[in-house]
């Protein structure tokens, strides 16, 4: 692992690191914020998964999360959204290829050799971070925006006991329920829908739910509402009587202005669970 840079930030340290990934078969980059408390021992960690077209950098520089994490004494990890580099498959459409890993393990050509983002985010990167930095692997939470919200919810629900809390901002809630979502899953996982199981937050919520608190924020002016399908996740939460809060935020769109507006709420929500 190599440090690309490290800067003092709100009394802590914001770094960006690169490492060779066995899961994706190439170099991967991630951001990590450590609060001042990490100098005295391991601190809880909040994972932030970004959305389509993003890298590790988007939330790291736009969300304002470090200030709130510093106040709460928790670390933040910002993974990339896909493998990158020479020899890694790509696509002309923004919603496929580099920047659009969808947090799945692809099984289809040309994606299968590198697009193993589930293994990377669920196993490889957490093991690396917990072994190299003062974070507490027993106190983890996860959040994300858009495609990252999809990833956060599916990772949390499929790994009971792993995360103490989960939240999402404008998540892709029901990709199986639209031609748009079916496009990506067919390309990455093939036409057999049985292989898609476990990658739809609304289906998982209805079938299994989450063993902890949930917070969802969705803007009412989001330009992608028809693709995100928030009503399906809201209905699944209500049907299952999932402990949590689903908020429709009046007038907000899909941008990082929306994300930054509610980041304090999400960090505080996770901090309550992480320090309990």
Residues annotated as catalytic (active site), given as ranges: 146, 222, 254
Nearest to 101 by CA among 142, 137, 154: 154
Residue with tokens 């990506």, as numbered in its chain: 184
- Inter-helix orientation angle 65-72/256-274, to 10°: 10
């Amino acid at each position: 692992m190599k440090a690309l840079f490290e800067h003092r930030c709100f009394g802590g340290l914001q770094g960006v690191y690169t490492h060779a990934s066995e899961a994706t078969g190439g170099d991967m980059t991630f951001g990590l914020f450590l609060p001042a408390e990490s100098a005295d021992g391991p601190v809880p960690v909040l994972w932030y998964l970004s959305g389509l077209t993003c890298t590790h950098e988007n939330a790291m520089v736009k969300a304002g999360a470090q200030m709130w994490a510093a106040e709460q004494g928790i670390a933040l990890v910002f993974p990339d959204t896909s493998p990158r580099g020479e020899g890694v498959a790509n696509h002309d459409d923004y919603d496929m290829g580099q920047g659009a890993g969808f947090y799945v393990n692809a099984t289809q050509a040309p994606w299968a050799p590198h697009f193993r983002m589930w293994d990377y985010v669920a196993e490889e990167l957490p093991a690396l971070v917990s072994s190299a930095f003062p974070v507490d692997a027993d106190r983890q939470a996860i959040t994300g925006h858009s495609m990252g919200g999809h990833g956060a919810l599916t990772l949390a629900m499929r790994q009971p006991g792993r995360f103490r809390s989960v939240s999402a901002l404008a998540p892709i809630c029901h990709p199986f329920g639209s031609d748009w979502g079916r496009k990506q899953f067919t390309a990455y996982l093939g036409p057999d829908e049985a292989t898609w199981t476990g990658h739809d937050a609304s289906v998982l919520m209805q079938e299994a739910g989450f063993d902890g608190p949930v917070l969802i924020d969705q803007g009412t002016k989001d330009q992608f509402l028809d693709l995100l399908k928030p009503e399906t996740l809201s209905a699944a939460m209500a049907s299952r009587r999932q402990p949590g809060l689903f908020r429709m935020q009046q007038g907000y769109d899909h941008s990082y202005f929306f994300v930054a507006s509610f980041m304090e709420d999400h960090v505080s929500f996770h901090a309550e669970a992480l320090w309990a």
